[in-house]
């Protein structure tokens, strides 16, 4: 499910995951309840995988370096 970024007329910005079929439907700002418009943002396809890798690193600690004799 894609992550969309929105901004209301009062300047509150927020992100939310929404199905692609719902991206054209109105959405309200969680702070002031005004209708928000979708912002154009760059896709980040590798971000989710990076977060998983980072979470695993924090959970299990860094890997030990192995020296290779060549």
CATH fold for domain 3-60 = Rubrerythrin, domain 2 (2.20.28)
How much is the pLDDT for 69? Answer: 72
What's the token pair of residue 34?
Answer: 């005004």
How much is the pLDDT for 34? Answer: 97
Closest of 46, 33, 38 to residue 18, by C-alpha: 38
How much is the pLDDT for 1? Answer: 76
pLDDT in tens, 13-63: 999 999 989 878 999 999 999 999 999 877 766 555 555 555 555 665 555
Residue 1, Cβ density class (10 Å: 0-12 exposed, 13-18 middle, ≥19 buried) = exposed
pLDDT over 70 at 8, yes or no: yes
């Amino acid at each position: 499910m894609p992550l969309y970024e929105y901004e209301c007329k009062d300047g509150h910005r927020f992100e939310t995951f929404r199905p692609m079929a719902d991206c054209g439907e109105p959405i309200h700002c969680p702070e002031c309840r005004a209708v928000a418009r979708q912002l154009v943002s760059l896709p980040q396809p590798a971000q989710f995988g990076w977060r998983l890798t980072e979470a695993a690193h924090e959970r299990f600690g860094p890997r030990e370096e192995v020296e290779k004799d060549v």
